[in-house]
Amino acid sequence: MRKFKEFLIEKLIFICGLASIFFVILIFLFLTKEGLAVFKYVNPVDFLMGKSWYPISEPAQLGILPLIFGSLIVTLGAAIISIPIGIACAVYIAEVAPSKIKEVLKSGIELLAAIPSVVLGFIGMVTLVPWVKTVFHLPTGLTALSGSIILAFMAMPTIVSIAEDALYSVPKSYKEGAFALGATHWQTIYRVLLPAASSGIVAAVMLGIGRVIGETMAVMMITGNAAVIPQSILVPVRTLTATIAAEMGEAVVGSEHYFALFAIGIVLFIMSFIINVTADLFLHKRH
């Protein structure tokens, strides 16, 4: 009887595991099938390198370069803001903060991670966007910069918690060894702990950035959604994700516009796949 129970549970878990893989493959197949159809209307080079995105004009222009640039500039901005702050915060929590402050900070970070992106987008819209507009004397505050700042808030919890974990799992004996040689706390952090935790920290950064690239709601609300190749970080941009979210509802099923949105999905999928695989490689290097 007990044996049978074990057997049943084992098989159930196996089927669940199989099902999740099956669904991933199904989604991927669907995405490819719908997405690749766009290349009947436009060749891949024109699709990726085309500078104009006018999907409903006649004939439709399906160049996603402005969207790729939009995603990249917003992501890059978010990375520049969140990486140094996130790592500094992780070092502070792991090494410097007294245990009470540490607990408070850790719960704060968890709380930040729990805020839904639409709420962050909304807060950004009513506070950050007007601020960016007045500080930089812009016609509109709906810019790539606003998006970057809000996305930095979304990347930070991931970066901080994983980087802190990486720092925490550096063997204590390294720290003792450095201290015993007369290293100061900062010398120990900078020359022993950070290098020893580097692969985990890189993984933290990659996962944080991965989250940013896929983010949709907040960027749609505050980046202005202009499908133009951005010349600076202070102009409205439109990202790959926002394009899909905004236009999928109105695209006629089976039209070239519809297929193009799926193809954008493939591009996104490949981007986040690369990022996640890189993060994984670094995480496994640790063990």
Point out which residues bind other proteins (CB under 8 A): 99, 171, 173-184, 187, 191-192, 195-196
Which is closer to other proteins, CB of 34 or CB of 95?
95
As measured in angstroms, the least distance from the Cβ of 92 to other proteins is 17
Written as one letter, the residue type at 286 is: R
Which is closer to other proteins, CB of 199 or CB of 239?
199
Query: Do residues 159 and 90 make contact, with C-beta atoms less than 8 angstroms apart?
Result: yes
As measured in angstroms, the least distance from the Cβ of 96 to other proteins is 13
As measured in angstroms, the least distance from the Cβ of 110 to other proteins is 23
| CA of residue 220 relative to chain centroid, distance | 15
The sign one gets for the Cα dihedral 59, 65, 67, 68 is positive
Which is closer to other proteins, CB of 129 or CB of 178?
178
Would you state the structure tokens that stand for residue 92, as one six-digit string? 């502070």
Nearest CA among 195, 159, 190 for reference residue 87: 159
Rounded to whole angstroms, how far apart are CA atoms 40 and 261?
A: 14
Which is closer to other proteins, CB of 59 or CB of 182?
182
User: Which distant-in-sequence residues (6+ apart) come within 8 Å of 285 by Cβ?
Assistant: 199
The sign one gets for the Cα dihedral 190, 193, 197, 201 is negative
Which is closer to other proteins, CB of 175 or CB of 257?
175
As measured in angstroms, the least distance from the Cβ of 197 to other proteins is 10
Would you state the structure tokens that stand for residue 99, as one six-digit string? 């245990």
As measured in angstroms, the least distance from the Cβ of 188 to other proteins is 8
As measured in angstroms, the least distance from the Cβ of 175 to other proteins is 7
- Name the residue with tokens 């436009």: 42
**How many of the other CB atoms lie within 10 Å of CB of 284?**
10
Which is closer to other proteins, CB of 104 or CB of 119?
104
As measured in angstroms, the least distance from the Cβ of 283 to other proteins is 17
User: Which distant-in-sequence residues (6+ apart) come within 8 Å of 183 by Cβ?
Assistant: 191, 192
